[in-house]
């Protein structure tokens, strides 16, 4: 991966080099365990970015300048790395400055960033442009937004603000939730599951993945979701390939209720399919043999279910209540009322190790018929935010495969499930700015 060094030298680097004098002259002596970058109405520091930088890095550098102005009232100069080094620089991006290579040398993997001091410069280095944006957000949150570090006529960085951190994988949706970063999400078609192998059991419902295969549930097309008896379901097993999906196995039809949502439990290696009926039935299926193991009953009756290995627990929805339970479904940790206020129709749920994502399809009364929603909650049941999914189909369930996010939508008897990947189409570091600060973005 191309490694991008965020030489936030001026900001963090002024930590090394104490802040300038109140008239913008020579840096003052270091004092205590912090490094002043701005002390007064001007500064000798400037922000430097690569001369060959793409639009994202240029936006990030300009946003950093605007954020510093918002916090301190001081405008720092912007320059690219074709300029002569000034010795007091905040270096952003994969520049040719020696501090960039120095900062990158200690990276543990291809998913890291650092905020470090190299000589008189502050270096923010990242493995790629997206993680660079996240590093700048981290700097904004933990330095520029703290009154003890940044206020009118003052910017200083404390020793504890310097860091080397790995995200453990690509920067994905979970890292952006609840932040002030600017980003857009979109969807791209991944594949269709193919039709159900059982005639009449063709209505698309829950879906999940174990990382190697995707599993899709179909239910009796005539079912109204009211009960267990006579409501048939079937689960198909599709291998994930470079070209989409390849059918490898399917269960015999079984009594599975509405088959509304499905989870894969890493603890016992089984699929959990919620019937979404009054009995609280959860059908467990062995994905190796594609046979039904048993049916567990859980109250309050779940209508959506997800499991995460890192969390070691299930999160379920029952009406307007979220239920958090252990891996055996024997102990309930918490029940929490939903607080999102959405009027869309509830569907399934998926999760990563930080958040749970509830796909919601449009109702006939909300006046919006051309999109879906994705409600984001954390694993304690706290509502985080709502994402819009611009597709007209009825969403059914949501699941992850490694660092990728998928939503399955209602299809047809001929094509089965429509599977789309949720992607981040555009994002960069940006903070909420005053009118004057925002104007700096275009200077």
Residue-range domain boundaries for the chain? 9-171, 185-427
Write down the residue that tokens 């442009």 correspond to: 129
Domains 9-171 and 185-427 share a fold: no
pLDDT value, residue 230: 56
DSSP state of 20: B
Is the distance from CB of 237 to CB of 218 less than 8 angstroms? no
In terms of Cβ atoms closer than 10 Å to its own Cβ (0-12, 13-18, 19+), residue 77 is middle
Alpha carbon distance 128, 3 (integer Å): 5
Alpha carbon distance 161, 142 (integer Å): 7
CB atoms < 10 A from the CB of 304, how many? Answer: 26
Q: Which residues contact 81 (CB under 8 A, 6 or more apart)?
A: 48, 49, 50, 51, 91, 95, 96, 97
Write down the residue that tokens 């239920």 correspond to: 323
| CA proximity to 4, closest of 69, 46, 61, 63 | 61
Alpha carbon distance 33, 274 (integer Å): 56
Task: Report the CATH number of the 185-427 domain.
Answer: 2.120.10.30
Is the distance from CB of 398 to CB of 406 less than 8 angstroms? yes
Is the distance from CB of 127 to CB of 110 less than 8 angstroms? yes
CA 147 to chain centre: 28
pLDDT value, residue 175: 93
pLDDT value, residue 401: 97
The CA-based angle 2-82-125, given to 5 degrees, is 35
pLDDT value, residue 27: 35
| CA proximity to 356, closest of 332, 372, 340 | 340
Specify the CATH architecture of the domain 9-171.
2-Layer Sandwich (3.30)
Q: Which long-range contacts (CB under 8 A, 24 or more apart) does 360-365 make?
A: 360/395, 361/394, 361/395
pLDDT value, residue 279: 80
pLDDT value, residue 31: 41
Is the distance from CB of 185 to CB of 373 less than 8 angstroms? no
CA-based diameter of the chain, in Å?
Answer: 83
Is the distance from CB of 342 to CB of 386 less than 8 angstroms? yes
Give me the average pLDDT of each 10-residue run along the chain (443 residues).
Answer: 41 34 34 75 94 91 93 94 93 93 91 91 92 94 93 91 93 89 90 92 95 95 52 94 95 92 97 86 96 93 95 95 95 95 94 97 65 96 94 94 96 93 85 61 63
Percent of the chain as helix, strand, coil, to the nearest 5: 15, 45, 45
pLDDT value, residue 144: 93
């Amino acid at each position: 991966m191309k490694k991008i060094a965020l030489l936030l030298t001026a900001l963090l680097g002024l930590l090394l080099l104490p802040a300038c004098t109140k008239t913008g002259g020579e840096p003052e002596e270091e004092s205590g365990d912090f490094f002043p970058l701005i002390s007064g109405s001007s500064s000798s520091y400037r922000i430097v970015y690569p001369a060959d930088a793409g639009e994202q890095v240029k936006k990030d550098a300009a946003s950093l300048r605007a954020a510093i102005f918002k916090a301190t009232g001081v405008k720092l100069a912007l320059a690219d790395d074709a300029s002569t080094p000034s010795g007091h620089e905040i270096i952003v991006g994969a520049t040719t400055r020696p501090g960039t290579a120095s900062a990158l040398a200690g990276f543990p993997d291809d998913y890291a960033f650092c905020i470090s001091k190299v000589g008189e410069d502050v270096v923010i280095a990242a493995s790629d442009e997206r993680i660079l944006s996240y590093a700048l957000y981290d700097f904004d949150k933990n330095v520029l937004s703290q009154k003890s570090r940044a206020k009118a006529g003052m910017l200083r960085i404390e020793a504890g603000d310097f860091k080397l951190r790995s995200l453990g994988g690509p920067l994905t949706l979970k890292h952006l939730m609840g932040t002030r970063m600017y980003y857009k999400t979109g969807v791209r078609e991944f594949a269709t599951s193919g039709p159900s192998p059982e005639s009449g059991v063709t209505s698309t419902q829950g879906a999940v993945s174990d990382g190697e295969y995707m599993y899709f549930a179909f239910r009796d097309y005539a079912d109204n979701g009211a009960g267990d008896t006579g409501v048939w379901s079937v689960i198909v097993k599709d291998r994930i390939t470079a070209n989409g999906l390849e059918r490898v196995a399917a269960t015999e039809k079984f009594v599975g209720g509405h088959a509304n949502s499905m989870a894969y439990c890493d603890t016992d290696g089984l699929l959990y399919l919620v019937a979404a009926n009054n009995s609280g039935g959860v059908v467990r299926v062995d994905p190796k043999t594609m046979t039904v193991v048993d049916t567990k009953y859980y109250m309050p009756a779940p209508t959506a279910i997800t499991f995460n290995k890192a969390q070691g627990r299930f999160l379920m929805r029952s009406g307007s209540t979220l239920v958090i339970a252990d891996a055996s479904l024997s102990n309930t940790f918490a029940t929490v009322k939903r607080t999102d206020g959405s009027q869309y129709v509830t569907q399934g749920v998926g999760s990563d190790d930080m958040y749970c994502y509830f796909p919601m399809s449009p109702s006939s009364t909300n006046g919006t018929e051309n999109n879906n929603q994705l409600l984001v909650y954390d694993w304690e049941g706290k509502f985080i935010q709502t994402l819009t999914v611009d597709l007209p189909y009825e969403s059914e369930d949501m699941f992850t495969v490694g660092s990728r996010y998928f939503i399955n939508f209602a299809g047809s008897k001929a094509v089965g499930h429509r599977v789309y990947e949720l992607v981040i189409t555009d994002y960069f570091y940006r903070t909420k700015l005053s009118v004057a600060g925002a104007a700096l973005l275009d200077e």
